Amino acid sequence: MAWFQCFSNHLEALGFVASQADSSLFTYFDGTTIIYLLIYVDDILVTGNNSSQIAQLIAKLGSLFSMKDLGPLHYFLGMEVTRTTSGFHLSHAKYIRDLLQRTHMVDCKPIQTPSSHGRRLLLHEEDHLSDATEYRSVMGALQYLLFTRPDIAFSVNQVCQFMHSPTTVHWAAVKRILCYLKGTHDHGLLYRPSSLSITAYADADYAGDPNDSRSTGGYCIFLGSNLISWSSKKQRGVSRSSTEAEYRQLTYTATTLSWFRNLFHDLHLYLTPPQLWCDNISALAVASNPVYQARMRHVEVDYHYVREKVTRKEIIVGYVASPDQVADFLTKGLSSTRFQFLISKLPVLGRPLSLRERDKP
């Protein structure tokens, strides 16, 4: 904390401004010069549109702190960055290989999906593990992978709910995820130049958890065609209808969209109101029509946040057919055909390009 305070004080003395949305982000604007600086403990990323100004900044910081310039970004916090002429690719390929080696799953048979179709894990099922240390360790490793692997978000969310008392069935579910990673270890996120418009998909699996009847919600947020945020999380309370579950998820997604709008404001990027898609017509009606207040009066006040945003025209909600609901893979286990179809609709998951492909214009 003392190191961060000292570093941020020096940045502010150099003309940087701390972001209100993210305390680790600092921005510098001077005429046409733009510089963004992101810090995580003692790892720093610097980018901008003026290379000479960036070089001067690094030199100034180097005179104040013991720093080493590692050049263009290739590796950051365990993520591998592969640059191409059209964009860049983020992955955890080496991290996954090391994880498979540590869990003795290097020679496992690859599988097409990270979780079983239509089956949920039960709290008390089969025998409990005598020592849950390895289970919890692997869970931490899988959670770290979510930074570049949204395709395993639902599966990891499920197995993480049993860390306090895992069973042999839960451990088998973990091994299934590892088998899926074996065949997709070099997959990751592709980012290419795109439009500066935000689109989001929100979905919920009503009362899908057999242990407490809570719903699992998920969302995907795109900046243009690039996936920038996703979530798979069990909702905090039990919903009395699918409409309520979907409406809650709309609110969760709306709060994240509001945060992104504030973040982009700090970056001096002023975007049009985000488009939020949902496949539940009743939930959309509740979000945009105050006449429905009576039937939803039992819902906590904070869940009506999305309605206020829609009324203010800060978010636009719309209907998307269930077959085209991109966030579906974040709320339940799917068949291999459905899972692969949805993943293929995400223009961000793929393998790193070969050297020959990287040289193509």
104: exposed, middle or buried (Cβ count in 10 Å: 0-12, 13-18, 19+)? exposed
Whether 87 and 191 have beta carbons less than 8 Å apart is answered as yes
Give the mean pLDDT of 137-164: 95
Go through the domains of the chain in sequence order and give each one's CATH number.
2-71 (3.30.310), 73-193+335-361 (no CATH), 194-330 (3.30.420.10)
pLDDT interval class at 290 (50, 70, 90):
low
* pLDDT mean across residues, the chain: 89
CB within 8 Å of 334: residues ≥ 6 apart: 113, 117, 328, 342
pLDDT interval class at 353 (50, 70, 90):
very low
Q: Of 76-90, 147-161, 184-198, 344-358, where does the model show the most confidence?
A: 147-161
- pTM for this model (two decimals): 0.90
**pLDDT tens, residue by residue, 56-93:** 999 999 888 888 888 888 888 888 998 888 888 999 99
**The token pair that represents 67 in the structure block:** 């720093």
CB within 8 Å of 241: residues ≥ 6 apart: 206
Could you tell me the CA-to-CA distances from 113 to 170, 232, 248 in Å, in that order?
Answer: 16, 16, 28
pLDDT interval class at 344 (50, 70, 90):
confident
pLDDT computed for residue 301 by the predictor? 61
Determine the angle formed by the axes of helices 133-145 and 168-183, rounding to 10 degrees.
Answer: 40
87: exposed, middle or buried (Cβ count in 10 Å: 0-12, 13-18, 19+)? middle
Give the mean pLDDT of 303-323: 90
Three-state SS for 360?
A: coil
- Look at residue 157 and tell me whether its pLDDT is greater than 70: yes
